Amino acid sequence: METPGRTLAAMVVLLIGLPAYGRDLALLQLSQFDARTILRSPPAADSPQTKAELAELHTIETGRTPAAFDAAAEAGKDETVFLFKPVFGAGFTADKLPVTAAFFAQAANDESIFAKVAKDQWKRPRPAAIDPTLHPCAQSKSFSYPSGHATRGYVLGILLGAAVPERRDAILTRAAAYARERLICGVHFGSDIEAGRLTGTALAAVMLSQPQVRQRLAAVRAELEAGGFTKAR
By the 8 A CB rule, do 214 and 165 touch?
no
Domain ranges of the chain: 49-226
Give the SS3 label for residue 89: coil
Does residue 118 carry a pLDDT above 50?
Answer: yes
By the 8 A CB rule, do 60 and 187 touch?
no
> What is the per-residue pLDDT for 140?
85
Residues with Cβ < 8 Å from 220, sequence gap 6 or more? 99, 100, 103, 104, 163
For range 198-214, the mean pLDDT: 98
DSSP for 16-58, written as a single string: HHS-GGGG--SSS-GGG--GGGTPPPPPPTTSHHHHHHHHHHH
By the 8 A CB rule, do 183 and 141 touch?
no
User: Architecture of domain 49-226 in CATH?
Assistant: Up-down Bundle (1.20)
For range 16-30, the mean pLDDT: 65
Does residue 71 carry a pLDDT above 80?
Answer: yes
What does the pLDDT look like over 127-137, one tens digit per residue?
A: 999 999 999 99
- What number of other Cβ atoms are within 10 A of residue 45's Cβ? 13
> How buried is 202 (Cβ within 10 angstroms: 0-12 exposed, 13-18 middle, 19+ buried)?
buried
What phi and psi, each to the nearest 5 degrees, are found at residue 201? -65, -45
Does residue 1 carry a pLDDT above 50?
Answer: no
What does the pLDDT look like over 142-180, one tens digit per residue?
A: 999 999 999 999 999 999 999 999 999 999 999 999 999
